[in-house]
Chain A
Amino acid sequence: MRQIYYLIRKEFKQIFRTREMVAIIFGMPMIQMIILGFTITNEVKNVHLIIGDRDNSRISREIVRSFKNTDRFTVIAYETDINRISENIQEWNAQMALVIPLHFGRDLERHQTPEIQILMDGLDGNTAGVALGYAQAIMQRIARTLQVPEPVIASSSVVVEERMWYNMNLDNAQYMIPGIVVVLLTIISMMLSAMSLVKEKEIGTLEQLMVSPLKRYQLLFGKIIPFLILTFIELGLVMTFARLIFAINISGSLLLLGFLSFLYLFTTLGLGVFVSAITGTQQEAMFISWFFMVFMLLMSGFFIPIENMPPLLQHITYLNPMRYILAIIRDITQKGAGLRFLLTDAVPMTIYGIIIFFLAVVNFHKRTA
C-alpha cells in the first residue's frame, strides 16, 4: 500500500499549492455557514400588513394595536379601499390586509356579529397559512376578552395541550445548523472528487498511471483518502465553530456523530469519484455532479420534509446519501439516539458507499480526452 501513500502525498501537495483552491475549500463552507445559519428560521415574521380600519372605534383600534405590537406583522400602510389594497398585494408591497368594517364597534355591542375581512396573498402557501394562523390567534384572544359568559351549557370543546418532544420551541437552528454544515461539506467534497480524476484524464497523467502496475482500486483510494481526510477535518472545524456561534446542544454521542459523518463523507466522495470515472471532461463531470447535488439537496428532507413527498418519490430518496446523514444528525443531536436506533440509517448509508466505490472501480473507463 505504499503506492497509495505516494498518491495521497501527491494529491495533498497539489491541493495546497493552489491558493485559490485552498481559499474555496476552507473559506466557502465557513462563510456560508455563518451567513446561512442566520437565515434558518421556521418562524414567520415581519409579514407586511395593510390595515384598513373603517370603523375607528375603541375596539377596532385595540385590534389594530394588537397587530402592531407583535413582530410577526409589520404594518406598512393604512388603506381602506379594497382596490388599492389589491394593488398593493399585487405589487408585492404587502402580503396581507385586515379590513375592519364601518360600525364594527357598534354592531359588536348589538351582538350582530360583524365581519372582519382578512385578505391574503396565497402564493407562498406555507407562509400564508402560518400568518393566517397568527392572525386568527390574535383575534381569538381579543374575542375571549369580549365574551360575555353565557349561562347555556354547551358541550365541550376539545383543547390540545401540545408538547414538542425533543425540541420544545421548535427551534429550527438546533437541527438545521448541523444540517447546513453537512450540506456545505457535501458540496465541497463532491466537487473536489468529481473533478479530480477526470482532470487527470484530460491532461494525460491518468494514462501514465494506468500504464504503471497501479491497480484501479488503489488509484481510487488515492483520490478519495486525501479528500476524506481534508473534508473530515474541515467538518470538525466548521461544526465546532457553528456550535459556538449558534449555541447548539448535542444530546447524543459526539464520537458516534463523527464516525458516521466520516462514513458519509466516504460515500459522497465515492459518488464524486464515480462521476469522475464515467465522464471524459471536467465540464461534463461538473454538470453531472452539480445536478446530483441539487437532487441531493432538495430531496434530502432538509428543506421540505420527506414525509411531504409523494410515496414514489419518497422511495427515490433512498438513493440519496444525504437523506441518511441528515436523519442521523437529527437523531443524535436532538434525540440523543444511540447506535441501535441509528442502524436503519447508518447501515444503508454504508452499504451505499461500498457499492458506489465498487461501481467506480468497475466503470473506470480508461478513455482519455
Chain B
Amino acid sequence: MRKRIVAIARKEFLHIIHDVRSLVIIFAMPVLMLILFGYALNLEIQNINLSVFDFSRTPASRKLVNQFAASKYFSIRYEKGTPSTIDSLFLSKEARAALIIDKNFARDFRNAPTTTVQLLVDAADPNAASFIKNYCNGVIGRFNDTHSTTFPLPFEIKQRIWYNPDMKSAYFFVPGLIALILIMISALLTSITITREKEMGTMEQILVSPVQPNEIIIGKVLPYILLAFLDGMLILLLGIFIFDVPFEGSSLLLILLSIIFLMTALSFGLMISTIVSTQQVAMMLSLSATLLPTVMLSGFIFPINSMPVILQYLSYLVPAKYYITIIRGVMLKGNTLWQLIFPAMFLLILTAVMLRNALHRFNLNLEK
C-alpha cells in the first residue's frame, strides 16, 4: 500500500515542480507578504497633523504646544481662524486633530488646580482616533509631569509587562501572519488538486486501478503538506531574522504542532473539494470561507475575548485560532506541549471530523 501512495505522491509532486510559475508564486508571495505586512502592521502611529488654536498666546500655552511639537509623532500647525474651520480642516484632511487653548489658559494654569484644554479628534476612523487620542493624552501627561506638581496618588502603581515588554508589533503580528499564510496555502492547494482531477476525468482512470480511494487522497495531499511545510519554515525563519522575533520554546514542538495544523487546513481543503463539483467553485469557496474568518475570528488582530459570546464560540471552529495560540505560545512564551494541549487537541478533533467527512463524501461520490 505504501508503494502506491508513494507513486501517487510522486506524480503529484512532479506536476507541481513542472509548474514553475505556481512554484514561484507559492514561495515568493508569502515571503513578500511577510515582509510587507510585518512592517506595515504597526501599532505605532507615524505622524499626526495637529492644528493648534492658541487663543492664549502666552509662554505657558506655548510651552504646552512645544511639548507636542517636540514629539516625533506630531506635526503642528498654528491656525489663525476660529474653531469653526475645524470641520473643513478635517474634511480636507489637513488635520487629524485639533487643540484649542482658550484665552484664560495662563491664568488658570497659575491659579486653578486644573486647567482645561479642548482636544478634537477626527474620529471617522475610530481605530485611528483611538491611537491619536492616546498619544495626545500621553503628551499631556508628560507635560504635566514636568511642569506641574499634581497631588500625588496615595499609592503607587507599578507595572510589569511580561512577554514583549517593549510591546513590539512585530512580535504580535508575525506569528499570526505565518498562521494566516499557512492556512490559506494549504486549503487552496488541496481543494484545487482534487477538484481539478475530477474535472479532467483523470480521477476515474486512477480509480479503476487497484489503488484505494483513501490512498489516492493521502498520496495527493502529501506533496502539498510538504510544500506548505517548507513554505512555513521559510517564512518562520525570515520572520525571526528580519523582525527579531524571539524563539523561546522548542522548535521540535512547533514543527510537530505545525504539521498537525497543516493537516487541519488540508482536511478543510479536501472537504471542500468533495462537496463541490468544479474547480472554480472550489477555489471561491475555500477562499471566501477562509480569508475573513481567519483574519477576524482567530485572534490575529482582534482579541477574541472582547467579542460577543456567540462569536467567541464560533471562533472555536476556526483552526487558525488554535494555531495562533500555539505559534505565539511556542515562540514568545516558550509554552510546553502540556500547556498547549487544549489547542492541539482541538486541532486534532477538527482534523478528524473534516477528514472523516471528506472521505465519506469521496466514497459517496465514487458510487455516483
Of chain A, the residue at the smallest CB distance from B115 is: A156
Chain B: CB-nearest residue to A25: B284
Contacting pair A335 B91 (CB below 8 A): yes
Among candidates A32, A308, A316, residue contacting B131 with C-beta atoms closer than 8 Å: A308
In contact, B292 and A120 (Cβ under 8 angstroms): no
Contact of B153 among A40, A135, A140, A157 (CB under 8 A): A140
**In the assembly, what is the distance between CA of A133 and CA of B163, in Å?**
18
> Does B364 belong to the interface (CB within 8 Å)?
no
Select one of A123, A165, A331 contacting B120, CB under 8 A.
Answer: A165
Residues of A within 8 A of B21 (CB): 280, 284
Give the residues in chain B near A183, CB-CB below 8 Å. 292
State which residues 150-206 of B face A: CB under 8 Å: 150-165, 167-169, 171-172, 180, 184, 188, 192, 196
Spot the interface stretch: A86-94, A210-218, A255-263.
A86-94
Are B155 and A187 within 8 A (Cβ)? no
* Residues from chain A with Cβ under 8 Å of B90 in the complex: 165-166, 335
Q: Which chain A residues lie closer than 8 Å to B289 at the CB level? A: 28
A341 at interface by CB-CB < 8 Å: yes
Q: State in angstroms the CA–CA spacing of A290 and B32 once bound together.
A: 13
Give the residues in chain B near A158, CB-CB below 8 Å: 64, 109, 114-117, 140, 143-144, 148
Which has the most chain B C-beta neighbours within 10 Å: A174, A175, A308? A308
Q: Which of A147-189 contact B (CB under 8 A)?
A: 147, 150, 154-168, 170-172, 174-176, 183-184, 187-188
Kindly state the separation between the CA atoms of A128 and B36 in the bound complex, as whole angstroms.
25
Query: Which of the listed residues B25, B184, B196, B297 has the most CB atoms from chain A within 10 Å of its own CB?
Result: B25
Q: Does A301 contact B (CB under 8 A)?
A: yes
Question: In whole angstroms, how far apart are the Cα atoms of A91 and B328 in the complex?
Answer: 11
If A36-B296, A147-B154 touch, whether A42 touches B126 (CB-CB below 8 Å) is yes
Nearest-Cβ distance from residue B312 to partner chain A, whole angstroms? 9
Segment of B208-216, B218-226, B233-241, B329-337 in the binding face? B329-337
Q: Mark A122-156, 1 if CB is under 8 A from B, else 0.
A: 11111111001101100110010011001000111
Are A90 and B124 in contact (CB-based, < 8 A)?
Answer: no
B252 within 8 A of A: no
Tell which of B29, B48, B161 touches A128, judged by Cβ atoms closer than 8 Å: B161
Are A119 and B167 in contact, CB atoms less than 8 angstroms apart? no
- CB contact list, A67-102 vs B, under 8 A: 74, 86, 89-92, 95
Contact B162 A156 (CB under 8 A): no
List B262-318 residues whose CB lies under 8 Å from chain A: 276-281, 283-285, 287-289, 291-293, 295-297, 301-303, 305-308, 310-311, 314
Question: Which of B4-12, B39-47, B353-361 lies at the interface?
Answer: B39-47
Residues of B within 8 A of A283 (CB): 19, 22, 192, 196, 279, 283
What's the least CB distance linking B336 to chain A, in Å?
9
Are B128 and A116 in contact, CB atoms less than 8 angstroms apart?
A: no
Check if A123 sits within 8 Å of B172, measured CB to CB.
yes
A165 and B123 contact, Cβ closer than 8 Å, known pairs A39-B297, A132-B159, A308-B44: yes
**Given contacts A154-B150, A282-B283, A305-B45, is CB(A118)–CB(B126) below 8 Å?**
no
**Min C-beta distance of A180 to chain B, whole Å:** 8
Known: A114-B156, A164-B129, A295-B33. 4 other contacts (CB 8 A): A24-B281, A120-B159, A187-B288, A284-B22
A-B contact pairs, 16 of them (CB 8 A): A20-B281, A21-B280, A44-B303, A90-B334, A128-B167, A140-B153, A156-B111, A162-B118, A165-B122, A175-B124, A176-B126, A294-B291, A299-B40, A309-B42, A330-B125, A334-B123
